[in-house]
Structure 1
Amino acid sequence: MSDENRRIATDMIYRLDDKPPAFQAFLAALQHMMAIFIGIITPPLIIGGALDLPPDLKAYIISMALFVSGIATFIQVKKIGPVGSGLLSIQGTSFTFLSLSIGIGLSVKAAGGTPEQALGTIFGVCIIASPVEMIFSRFIPFLKKIITPLVSGIVVTLIGMSLIKVGITDVGGGQWLLDNKPEFFGSGTNLLLAGIVLIIIVILNRSTNKWIRMSAVVIGLVVGYIIAAFMGLVNFNNISTMKFITAPIPFRFGFHISWGHVIPMALLYLITTVESIGDLTATSMISGEPIEGDKYFKRISGGVLGDGINSALAGVFNSFPNTTFSQNNGVIQMTGVASRYVGFWIAGLLVLFGLFPVVGGLFSVIPNSVLGGATIIMFGTVAASGIRIISSSIINRRGVLIMAISFGLGLGVAFVPQILSKAPSIVQQIFGSAITTGGLSAIFLNIVLPRSLSKQDLGHEPYEGEAAK
């Protein structure tokens, strides 16, 4: 373990293999749930709306997204054979596949297909393409010179920076408000609620009492929730219309394939592999675990393999591809709890909410501004973790060049997405993400740029091992 990771480990209340008391583990799990719940249910909500699904189908795919995320999280945390990272790595519905999934569904409906056939085709294509990620996971141990801490750090930093846009949008009231009622976006009420939550979390997180520190996020959100309810900003009517229980039915919508969408879907699985490597590296770093060496690469391989298998499992149970959730790294950092046993609690809660949608409905009505007050600081810590990973390697002229180009291109497409407006739609889907463009740029440059051994480039006299390379 590096000196930096040892320092981080000492800042943890519970490390990876520690087993917290049940109530403390439940509190930590609850805070993870607060961070991921909206992220898990948002993709099926958006896809259901875009495909104009009837309310019962929309409710069902939302429930299945939660149910599958719970099963996938258990597999990832438990590590069954070679499958899973064994870290406190939470799985959830991936936003990467959102646009393509909508495109597949709309093409089926345009050809006269039913909503059920549209869903069955989306899930079928997801299943067929998922082996791409599984196969790629087997080659990760041989890519040590490509997936370096510098590359991983760049990807993690871009992940955090990309999420900050989501967090600040929630602070203002959420994307729906921004798109449909911009006059209310960023109102004093929304900023006040977000500010209250943020201040409470910061104050409680600085406490020396581990119980208070572990509960900082959930206390901040609960206080914000209660204040918003008294202000009449929480709509409980949505909960009363939900079914009490729903059952997972494999291949409920059949199994259909649109072969023209298989290759684009396969490319997206490669993209999410890069993102998962960054997420898992951040989790390992924050948990005080290695971010290089055989143990690290074995965990990354297992995690990426778990992503692929879990995405195939998601298709079987009528949900969309799963991936590791980066926002949970912020929760680990904030609570000081990196124990894998917390993951079992999270998995159980996700399955429970999937089977009993009314229970999960309590989370779904939390105002965006309340969530934003918590997520803005969590997402910021993800970006900070990426910077910390980068700083663990020697930054010479070559490293600076890789960072400059990767950040420039990655953030460039995020700030000015119109740069790709003349490109084919598949190019827009692949390179429209800051994480993808920046991450792939970092990998490519790390391969093609020569490694100089001059004193000026290294920043020190060449080590014996470096001189021999």
Structure 2
Amino acid sequence: MSDAPMSAQGNLRDPNYTPPLAQAIPLGIQHVLAMFVSNVTPAIIVAGAAGFGFGSNSPDFPELLYMIQMSMLFAGVTTLLQTITVGPVGAALPIVQGTSFAFLPIMIPLVAGKGVDALSVLYGGVIIGGLFHAALGLVIGKIRFALPPLVTGLVVTMIGLSLVKVGIQYAAGGVPAIGTPEYGSLLNWSAAAVVIVVTLGLKFYTRGMLSVAAVLIGLIAGYVYAMMVGMVTVEGIATSWSRAASFALPQPFKYGFEFSFAAILGFCLMAFVSAVETVGDVSGITKGGAGREATDAEIEGATYADGFGSALAGVFGGLPNTSFSQNVGLIAMTGVMSRHVVTIGALFLILCGLVPKVGALIRTVPIEVLGGGVIVMFGMVAAAGISMLSEVAWSRRNMVIFAIALSIGLGLQLEPGAVQYVPGSARILLTSGLLPAAVIAIVLNLILPDEV
């Protein structure tokens, strides 16, 4: 995609340039391929944590399909807010939005084992947290001092570390399968291994579209392998396909709306981290694609779109949205800054979100195959955090801040029984690991004096 004529390349570096459809459509689809798996995975993980049955005959199957459907639909809608803009909402840049992994450590404890009934609390947090996130657009430039690389790098690393367990569980057979004879079998691990090997091979030994879509193609290879060894059957695919509608509109407040102190506080605190990540992504797009710094209006508009898009998604049963860093890298690689290219990708996502049969096909992917992709993705989240930490000047002060925040945050996550006498809402926040680590790091960074 990067070998267009020089004149066209120059035009494509202009966010307002509209390339010919023959060029814009494949470029837009390329953006969707780069983020598609990461976008739907959080919904599958939250559904699994809540205890939804994943089989096509499960009574929870329609709910799982709906959550996948909303992940695609509102990734597209929020991306349109960024590219087309509505008043001050949106950056008018090629920013691709998708469901955020960052909120998973907050969402999983809220719904763990509680089924559909827990979703009203979850979505109450998503909506209020989204509105709070949007409000950060008013002050985002003023609060960045409280979130240096020491804090944001720690938080992103903690997100990755808190999720790697999920990847291993999925690769071994899934959370519902823990304790069964099949859990951790060679067959399960072999499916995950196929995904990892193919993904790595494509990522490092190919170029262009194959490299960009390495995780997606790796999952397809794992899916084919699963069919060859009997983990997926044609009958199962046909059943899932037949149970899903051909077209469906989103339903407002499908799962209700309930206020919970733990949920609202957790989502609002994570909004700080997500907002700062978005600032970094916007800066990465303007630097990588146009060789300039992002303007205040672009950063504020992007933050507004993040927040309002998340709140809107929560109304209809979607999860929090954020800008996707993998697409920032894609822009830097191709040099394509046209926001209208990303608009085409957004329209494709919206189309997929209105067709539940797409979600039904995604759900036929065995959990072990998904586990292979998740291991790669969550490991990359932790690696991204470590990369951010490389910018830190490791004085004794910063090492102490990092050590205490990591020890307490990760320790409470690994041993939740240590706070068993803490009231329910506060216990959920503490055992997430992420929030105590973030709060400790922010507070210590603000109050401890710099070393002379």
TM score, norm. by length of structure 2: 0.77
Q: What is the deviation of 1:197?
A: 1.6
- Is structure 2 residue 98 aligned with structure 1 residue 91? yes
Q: What is the deviation of 1:423?
A: 1.0
Amino acid at match of 1:416: E
Q: What is the deviation of 1:323?
A: 3.2
Aligned residues: 417
The answer to whether the Cα contact below 8 Å between 1:154 and 1:403 also exists between their aligned partners in 2 is yes
C-alpha RMSD over aligned residues: 3.8
The answer to whether the Cα contact below 8 Å between 2:24 and 2:344 also exists between their aligned partners in 1 is no
Match of 1:246 among 222, 245, 248: 248
| SS of aligned partner of 2:146 | coil
String of CA shifts for 1:217-240, please: whole Å, max 9, x gaps: 222221111111122212312222
Q: What is the deviation of 1:450?
A: 0.9
Q: What is the deviation of 1:363?
A: 1.3
Match of 2:41 among 38, 41, 47: 38
Q: What is the deviation of 1:357?
A: 0.5
Residue in structure 2 matched with residue 163 of structure 1 by the alignment: 163
Evaluate the alpha carbon distance shift between residue 15 and residue 97 of structure 1 in structure 2; reply closer, same or farther with a 3 A threshold: farther
Residue in structure 1 matched with residue 228 of structure 2 by the alignment: 230
| SS of aligned partner of 1:144 | helix
Residue in structure 2 matched with residue 26 of structure 1 by the alignment: 29
Match of 1:71 among 60, 77, 83: 77
Match of 2:264 among 263, 266, 275: 266
The answer to whether the Cα contact below 8 Å between 1:37 and 1:364 also exists between their aligned partners in 2 is no
**Structure 2 unaligned runs (5+)?**
1-11
Shifted more, 121-130 versus 218-227: the winner is 121-130
The answer to whether the Cα contact below 8 Å between 1:170 and 1:368 also exists between their aligned partners in 2 is yes
CA distance in 1, matches of 2:70, 2:391: 40
String of CA shifts for 1:175-217, please: whole Å, max 9, x gaps: 2222xx5321221012111112211221222225334322322
The answer to whether the Cα contact below 8 Å between 2:132 and 2:271 also exists between their aligned partners in 1 is no
Evaluate the alpha carbon distance shift between residue 106 and residue 241 of structure 1 in structure 2; reply closer, same or farther with a 3 A threshold: closer
Identity %: 27
String of CA shifts for 1:113-161, please: whole Å, max 9, x gaps: xxxxx95x87567545643333344222112321112211111222222
CA distance in 2, matches of 1:141, 1:365: 44
Residue in structure 2 matched with residue 459 of structure 1 by the alignment: none
CA distance in 2, matches of 1:218, 1:16: 29
| SS of aligned partner of 1:131 | helix
Q: What is the deviation of 1:169?
A: 2.1
**Structure 1 unaligned runs (5+)?**
1-13, 108-117, 455-469
CA distance in 2, matches of 1:171, 1:56: 24
Residue in structure 2 matched with residue 197 of structure 1 by the alignment: 195
The answer to whether the Cα contact below 8 Å between 1:127 and 1:315 also exists between their aligned partners in 2 is yes
String of CA shifts for 1:328-352, please: whole Å, max 9, x gaps: 5467669956967575455334322
Within a 5 Å distance, the mapping from 1:404-443 to structure 2 comes to 404-443=403-442
CA distance in 2, matches of 1:297, 1:422: 46
Amino acid at match of 1:92: T
Amino acid at match of 1:419: A
CA distance in 1, matches of 2:407, 2:73: 38
TM score, norm. by length of structure 1: 0.75
String of CA shifts for 1:344-377, please: whole Å, max 9, x gaps: 4553343222211112211111112222222222
CA distance in 2, matches of 1:67, 1:208: 31
Evaluate the alpha carbon distance shift between residue 350 and residue 60 of structure 1 in structure 2; reply closer, same or farther with a 3 A threshold: same
- Is structure 2 residue 377 aligned with structure 1 residue 378? yes
Q: What is the deviation of 1:265?
A: 3.9
CA distance in 2, matches of 1:84, 1:431: 34
| SS of aligned partner of 2:145 | coil
CA distance in 2, matches of 1:157, 1:296: 28
CA distance in 2, matches of 1:448, 1:104: 42
Evaluate the alpha carbon distance shift between residue 272 and residue 124 of structure 1 in structure 2; reply closer, same or farther with a 3 A threshold: closer
Q: What is the deviation of 1:279?
A: 4.0
Q: What is the deviation of 1:397?
A: 1.4
| SS of aligned partner of 1:91 | strand
The answer to whether the Cα contact below 8 Å between 2:401 and 2:444 also exists between their aligned partners in 1 is yes
